[in-house]
Amino acid sequence: MWPAVSHISADHGPLWPSLTILGLTYAAIMSERVNRAIIALIAAVVMIGSGLLTQKEAVAGIDFNTIGLLTGMMVIVSVARKSGLFEFLAIWAAKVARGRPAGIMALLMLITAVVSALLDNVTTVLLIVPVTLLICERLEVPPYPFLLSQVLASNIGGTATLIGDPPNILIGTQVGLSFNAFVANLAPLIVVLLVVHLGIIHLVWGRKLRASEKGRKLIMALDERKAISDRALLAKSLVVIGGVLGSFTCAHAIGLESGTIGIAGAALLLLLDNLGKPAAKQNENVTHVFNEVEWVTLFFFIGLFVVVRGVESSGALQLLASRLLEATGGDLRSTGLGILWSSAILSALVDNIPFVATMIPMVKSMAGSFGGPDGLAPLWWALSLGACLGGNATLVGASANLTVAGIAERHGVPFRFLTYTRHAAPMVVLHLLVCHAYWLWRFA
């Protein structure tokens, strides 16, 4: 958790310089003239070099739990892929949908949402996206609509539970909200949002996608069992993946963060895959695996975490949160809806993890106005919905978005900032309108 700023003023020295760096960073990212990892790293260096952050503060601002989770799962996916596991899943999914692109898209969206709710959305997209790319390649259909729909579905599904999305983990652990509380209060809404999402995606893309009859016949004629090229590695991969996923679901009980679990799983699978092989072969295998890690995405995250830490340390985020809460005058309905929409907007522009970390102490401070800590429950659900779903609007809003973008671009599928925002933002607005109505009905 990043430390809160005890005193905030509009004249606070670092505020405007930090906001200027943030604004220039996002403008450069949206221009798409320079690789986003380069931009983020340069911005991070400027934040340190200008004296807005010390090197120690910059390092403390990097969420190594996120970095560890991403790196670990990328390694696990890279090793498991060699067994033919993901090709098996691709063929199975396509055959269940009878080779029809619209059916495949809907099936993969539902799988993504459900798994994201039970595990976490970053892990889910790391596992589902390679499957999707294989399916699209075989059917000769554009993968972008599939990937976009899954990004949105992963964040929608992840909103339903305590462990599905990092903002929920922060809220649940610091406020004391249980897994069951998230399911009871948010899962019914998420079911409605998924139905809405499936309908929109089908109308915009699904009904227009066509696979050639040759491609469909090719898919239906395939035997998914023959896709398994290394049964021993498949068995090892399934055991490790099962252990990692099981550990995620009981992470609090075993006292481990998701990043540690991801790295542990990666190290174990690398060990199992290389035991008994000559040193030269081990070096070759490990080098191949690490070459498939999405380093552009990881270093973009590192730079962006430092930039956002600089903005947060200046008091900018807390200043906005404080003024929002003051402006509502202690009215629950106004406060809740204000938190819902402002969280959504800011989470689309600034990573939702530091924003939620800043909002939590601000909301806690309002307990006296709403009859104690129990009276704040509606505000926690508004914060969760706004932060988790608002992050869908831009590529930089949530970890899963950037993860998918990195994998897509590595496979030659353009995933541009402005293009993504143009498609995703209108759908996010519709999702939030549904949330607005639900929150008023359920909590106001």
Question: What distance in Å separates the CA atoms of residue 313 and residue 307, rounded to the nearest whole number?
Answer: 10
Judge whether residue 355 has pLDDT over 60.
Answer: yes
Q: What is the pLDDT of residue 2?
A: 35
Q: What is the pLDDT of residue 187?
A: 93
pLDDT digits (tens, 9 = 90+) for 110-168: 988 988 887 667 778 887 888 888 888 878 889 999 999 999 999 999 999 887 788 88
Q: What is the pLDDT of residue 193?
A: 96
Element (H, E) at 191: helix 179-204
Q: What is the pLDDT of residue 245?
A: 79
Q: Give the chain's mean pLDDT.
A: 85
Instruction: Tell me if 80 sits within 8 A of 241, measured CB to CB.
Output: yes
List, as one string, the DSSP characters of 154-165. Answer: HHHHHTTSSSSS
Instruction: Tell me if 166 sits within 8 A of 399, measured CB to CB.
Output: yes
Instruction: Tell me if 114 sits within 8 A of 157, measured CB to CB.
Output: yes
Nearest alpha-carbon partner for 71 in 266, 218, 242? 266
Instruction: Provide mean pLDDT across the span 19-36.
Output: 84
Q: What is the pLDDT of residue 324?
A: 67
Q: Which pair of structure tokens corresponds to residue 89?
A: 């899943």
Judge whether residue 385 has pLDDT over 70.
Answer: yes
User: In this structure, which long-range contacts are made by residues 246-255, counting pairs with CB atoms below 8 Å and at least 24 apart in sequence?
Assistant: 248/119, 248/120, 248/123, 248/163, 249/118, 249/119, 249/163, 251/163, 252/173
Judge whether residue 444 has pLDDT over 90.
Answer: no
Q: Which pair of structure tokens corresponds to residue 82?
A: 């060699």
Judge whether residue 174 has pLDDT over 90.
Answer: no
Nearest alpha-carbon partner for 167 in 343, 365, 426? 343
Q: What is the pLDDT of residue 13?
A: 57
Angle value at C-alpha 247, between 244 and 252, nearest 5 degrees: 150
Judge whether residue 3 has pLDDT over 50.
Answer: no
Instruction: Provide mean pLDDT across the span 340-366.
Output: 81
pLDDT digits (tens, 9 = 90+) for 279-327: 999 999 999 999 988 898 889 889 988 988 888 888 876 776 677 667 8
pLDDT band of 4, cuts 50, 70, 90: very low
The least confident of 77-81, 288-292, 404-408 is: 77-81
Q: Answer with the residue of higher pLDDT: 221 or 195.
A: 195
Q: What is the pLDDT of residue 10?
A: 42
The least confident of 349-358, 366-375, 390-399 is: 349-358
Maximum Cα–Cα distance for the chain, whole Å?
Answer: 70
The least confident of 225-239, 249-263, 320-334, 377-391 is: 320-334
Highest mean pLDDT: which range of 55-59, 163-167, 356-360 = 55-59
Judge whether residue 388 has pLDDT over 80.
Answer: yes
- Three-state DSSP at 198 gives helix
Instruction: Tell me how far apart the terminal alpha carbons of the chain are, to the nearest angstrom.
Output: 30
Nearest alpha-carbon partner for 240 in 215, 199, 273? 273
Instruction: Provide mean pLDDT across the span 316-341.
Output: 79
Q: What is the pLDDT of residue 432?
A: 96
Judge whether residue 329 has pLDDT over 80.
Answer: no
State pTM to two decimals. Answer: 0.73
What's the one-letter identity of residue 218? L
Highest mean pLDDT: which range of 43-47, 131-135, 349-353, 411-415 = 43-47
Judge whether residue 9 has pLDDT over 70.
Answer: no
Q: Which pair of structure tokens corresponds to residue 257?
A: 């963060």
Judge whether residue 205 has pLDDT over 80.
Answer: yes
